[in-house]
Chain A
Amino acid sequence: MNQQECSSGLIKQVELVVIGASSGGLDVLITLLKTLPEHYRIPTVAVLHQRPNRSSGVPEMLAKYTHLQVQEPEDKQGIEAGCFYVAPPNYHLLIDSGKVFSLSLDAPLNFCRPSIDMAMESAAEVYQQHLVGCVLTGANADGAEGVRYIKENGGYVMVQEPAEATVDSMPKAAIAATEVDEILPMVRIAERLSSFAAGGQS
């Protein structure tokens, strides 16, 4: 909202980015990956609602657009720089203490598994103010609780401009849930993330 106030200088060091997307999400993730520069190496987690297929093919597809190593994390895999993680279909993806992923087959939350809220809440618990959360296009309210929790724990939240989103309910729900830091078109979100990466290196 107050874009001037919320320059990247306010963030000490970004150690993890969690992105939530649903309907129309694949296209914006491609835009994001195309826009992120070579120096961007912040570990980034994308929670994308997908059909519970056995193998989605999404990581292979996204890998074509980026220098980052795209993968579906396994349980207890360590979180590493230079990686772009895509939540495996039909599991909840949680971030656990010790900077590792934990998977869960708990019931879907608000009809979603993976749940963006669960990923963001668990990440906020571990990464506190070193976490950035982004909510992109989508047709439900998943992610709204998550960004509220991120803000409560001192993290930074960006939401895709609803007018630009393929489906605007998810960004709108996130904006209604908390005082988000910035509302931006996708390309600007990517630029902002890049600036965090530059800051983190210095």
Chain B
Amino acid sequence: MAQDGKLDQLSEFEVEVECLMQALYLRWGYDFREYSRASLRRRVARYMSDNHILRPCDLQHELVRDKKRCVHFVRGLTVNVTDMFRDPVFYRVIREQVIPELRSHPFIKIWHAGCSTGEEAYSMSILLHEEGLGERAVIYATDINSQVLDQASKGVYHDKMLATARENYRDAGGKSGLDDFISVGYERFLIDPGLKKNIVFTQHDLVTDQVFGEMQMVICRNVLIYFRRELQTKVLTLFHNSLDLGGFLGLGIKESLRSLPNEFRYKAIDESARVFQRID
């Protein structure tokens, strides 16, 4: 790993975090060894300060002995946030440039990896229904964290998110109004149960689990940013092997294919929206 000489020398804290991750892998099989150091360090530091622990090696001592605490700790490492129709330009490109191609398929399978609390999976479901494809599409929405999946399958969100959701829906080229797909009340909004019928929420770890076969589209937004480049390569390969030839890959707006193995070929459907098509 240390190729760059002095600048790659790790601090005491980082060495201890590395050891902690190695220990959790050996003891419980949780694999965070190739997560991006900078964000991992912050999340570990935050957990330590919340729990009055001084050093990562002290934390390690506790977590290799206590599975329950370890589960709690691991959940804290993997929580991500999202919005309905996050980055509306992404959904606009899906609607205008991807949906026309998907129409030719009798059956459409979409894998949304790292769906977190589900807002974006529901956004895709809304979009598919508006385009008349709701009945023949299935969205496999996965996350490593079972707790966020429970929340996702409920489809209930706080209404402080509603203004952003409505605005994003409009900017994404929504055809009617978001309120046709949700009900609002008691400081919450609830996703229409009809939209859930074609979403399968299930646990999946991109680091240790296998491919989803023959997808027409794989969406994974703002998950790769938490991975080191070697792990990004591994996960992009997993996506590649899950995609049909001609299938589509959607990433976060600041993510790229720079870690993609050279032999894989993609063309940009829209470079700035980070929507790509597998062409080899």
Contacts and interface: CB of A to CB of B under 8 A. Distances in A.
Interface residues of A, number: 32
Give the most central of B7, B80, B88, B224: most A CB within 10 Å: B7
A126 B37 CA distance: 10
B221 to A, nearest CB: 10
A106 B8 contact: no
A103 B8 CA distance: 19
Given A54-B89, A76-B229, A122-B38, A97 B255 contact: no
A79 to B, nearest CB: 10
Contacts of B4: 98-99
B22 interface: no
Interface stretch (A35-43, A88-96, A155-163, A173-181): A88-96
A96 B38 contact: yes
Given A103-B225, A106-B42, A126-B7, A96 B256 contact: no
A102 B87 contact: no
Contacts of A91: 254
B150 to A, nearest CB: 20
- Which 6 pairs, one residue from A and one from B, show the smallest C-beta to C-beta distance? A94-B38, A122-B38, A96-B38, A75-B225, A102-B36, A103-B225
Interface of A: 15, 54, 72-77, 88, 91-92, 94-100, 102-107, 118, 121-122, 125-128, 130
24 contacts: A15-B7, A73-B254, A74-B254, A74-B258, A75-B255, A75-B256, A76-B225, A76-B258, A77-B258, A91-B254, A94-B38, A94-B39, A95-B38, A96-B228, A97-B8, A97-B37, A98-B4, A98-B229, A102-B38, A104-B38, A105-B225, A122-B41, A126-B7, A127-B7
